[in-house]
Amino acid sequence: MVRPAIIRKSLAEFPVAPNWTDYEAQRAGFSWDAARRTLAGLPGGGLNIAHEAVERHAAGSGRERAAFLFLGANGVRRISYGELSRLCARFDYVLAGLGVARGERVFTLLGRQPELYVAVLGALRHGAVACPLFSAFGPEPVVTRLALGEASVLVTTESLYRRKLEKLRDRLPRLRHVLVVADPGEDCHAPPGTIDLARLMETASEQQAIAVTQAEDMALLHFTSGTTGTPKGAVHVHEAAVAHMATGTYALDLHADDIYWCTADPGWVTGTSYGIIAPLLHGVTSIVDEGEFDAQRWYRILEEQRVTVWYTAPTAIRMLMKAGTGLAREHAFGALRFVASVGEPLNPEAVWWGMEALGLPIHDNWWQTETGGIMIANTPAFDIKPGSMGRPLPGIDACIVVKDQDGAHRVASQPDTEGELALRRGWPSMFRGYLNNEERYRKCFDGELYLTGDLARCDADGYFWFIARADDVIKSAGHLIGPFEVESALMEHPAVAEAGVIGKPHETLGESIKAFVSLRAGYAPSDALRMELLGHARTRLGAAVAPKEIDFLPSLPRTRSGKIMRRLLKARELGLAEGDTSTLEGQT
């Protein structure tokens, strides 16, 4: 396949929705004030995410439309907007009955089962703060986050409670209520000290009035992925919905008749902003897969559910690539019209793989827990440069900054300057603080600029290119090297499924580059392959940027949200302490 540096878009080739307009026109015509008016607002004033996401549709013609299709071990459970609204009202009533006040924290520790979605939206409806935790966290990370987030209520399943919390409950004096629901396919026996939520829901009223929250009221608490250190609790407010609505349009091209699948777990911000809020705001039908990754099943879901818009992550795409293109070819993705990815840099190889396996390019986009919503994206409305994370969305002002001698941040005026990616503050879903860490929050800003901690460059066409997290950047023989560039080059070799690259202290070079590689199906580690990969990288990157060493690993250490943990590769390589590993996949 020919691989030009740019993938030109044409409506004939990529059948996207008809109301596409050109990117420049979208940006020019955009204002956050106008975006705010796309939301209804509460009757009589105020803004509540649950009202916009659920009630508004349930009160109108969208009532019978499916909000969610839950794909579980026992079949499909369809929940309409009307039913979702009734369930959320009941959960709101239950919270009121338990004396839970506005602003109190309602945590969930649940798999992707209906109760998770009802609890998050019902908590928002109640004016409480929702905080979804990833259910595979071990006991210690769960307790730490519940304590840090000052949880008043936890919704979990019987088995998760018994395994992760029962013995540690006395470390959480502020946790007043644990509401227990059945594990999927099981009966529920509420352990001592917990309440059977289903019983309260049965008798709850559906007439509970929604809380009149204001745009700036705290709505969600999200912990970061912990890729670079201890996770931070980012605070988000109801106004974030304005950004979720707008970005759902511009970056994901959502329309009410879409069948949309976001593969992220709501324990991560993607799974909430784009797995719950944005799709509901747009009135779409979301697929929720209750199971774990499985290449065969995922292809089947895309095909059988006739998914139209798919939002996933590089880690999943790399796993699909690892399983081979042949498997993809056994399926037909006729309904699919838009695919996007977030969480890590998307290697150009993965964009091309999308063309081969799905018949569509994959659109990379960039954002963080802190930004609350998508900031920079490859949208349907312009050509893709594989390897670039795209251009700033309407309403988002992004730039590259470099520090001058006095430590002040100067906005780079020349294209392709390498520096820190910064955003001009003021978009609605921006975090309003790190919980209990005002100083860390203040450090993220220089005047009007929010400093992202990521290094990037912006080319003459306004496309942003990710270089590295500031913590991962490698300094070798006077060059600043981003691991992503080296990893992408390695991934061009047919044997390589994923690669993680680090810098090792080196006497003369400062740092020398070492790569860890896991192989695709059908390849086995050998010295000959190692030499071949070293040679491939040298040809592709030049001697200064190519790795000097390559080790083979069955898989790379990654966070539960799927990000390669280079800091861990490095700590293990150098025999250093591993630091916070609470979000490491496979850790219990």
Nearer to ligand ATP among residue 111 and residue 562 (C-beta) = 562
| Residue 36 structure tokens | 């705010």
Question: Taking CB under 6 A as the rule, which mask of x and - marks residues 538-567 in contact with ligand ATP?
Answer: -----------------------x-x----
For residues 124 and 119, what is the distance between their CA atoms, to the nearest angstrom? 8
Number of residues that bind ligand ATP (CB under 6 A): 23
Q: E strand or H helix at 85, and its extent? A: helix 81-97
Nearer to ligand ATP among residue 389 and residue 393 (C-beta) = 389
| Residue 288 structure tokens | 């929720």
Give whole-number Cα distances, 255 to 10, 16, 199, in Å: 20, 11, 37
Place of tokens 């993607």: 270
For residues 367 and 376, what is the distance between their CA atoms, to the nearest angstrom? 7
Nearer to ligand ATP among residue 184 and residue 354 (C-beta) = 354
Subset of residues 230 to 269 that bind ligand ATP, contact rule: CB under 6 A: 231
Q: How far is the CB of 555 from Mg ion (least distance, A)?
A: 23
For residues 376 and 256, what is the distance between their CA atoms, to the nearest angstrom? 23
Is there binding between residue 364 and ligand ATP (CB under 6 A)?
yes
Number of residues that bind Mg ion (CB under 5 A): 1
CA angle 397, 398, 399 (to 5 degrees): 130
Is there binding between residue 228 and ligand ATP (CB under 6 A)?
yes
Q: How far is the CB of 455 from ligand ATP (least distance, A)?
A: 9
Is there binding between residue 150 and ligand ATP (CB under 6 A)?
no
Is there binding between residue 184 and ligand ATP (CB under 6 A)?
no
Residue range at the interface with ligand ATP (CB under 6 A); choices 13-21, 113-121, 341-349, 527-535: 341-349
Among 132, 343, 348, 394, binds ligand ATP (CB under 6 A): 343
Kindly state the DSSP code that residue 228 receives in the 8-state scheme: S
Residue type, 148: L
340 binds, among ligand ATP, Mg ion, none (CB under 5 to 8 A by kind): none
Picking from 506, 503, 528, the residue whose alpha carbon sits closest to that of residue 516 is 503
- Beta-carbon neighbour count of residue 152 at 10 Å? 22
Q: Which residues pair with 457 in a beta bridge?
A: 465
Q: How far is the CB of 128 from ligand ATP (least distance, A)?
A: 23
Place of tokens 């905080």: 131
208 binds, among ligand ATP, Mg ion, none (CB under 5 to 8 A by kind): none
Give whole-number Cα distances, 340 to 233, 296, 389, in Å: 26, 20, 11
Give the ranges where 211-294 is alpha helix by DSSP (H): 240-250, 269-272, 278-281
Question: Taking CB under 6 A as the rule, which mask of x and - marks residues 437-476 in contact with ligand ATP?
Answer: ---------------x-x-----------x--x-------
Residue range at the interface with ligand ATP (CB under 6 A); choices 138-146, 220-228, 548-556, 571-579: 220-228
With contact defined as beta carbons under 8 Å apart, do 375 and 390 qualify? no
Among 114, 127, 149, 226, binds ligand ATP (CB under 6 A): 226
Provide the binding-site residues for ligand ATP, judged by CB under 6 A: 224-229, 231, 342-345, 364-366, 368-369, 389, 452, 454, 466, 469, 561, 563
Given the rule CB under 5 A, which residues bind Mg ion? 224
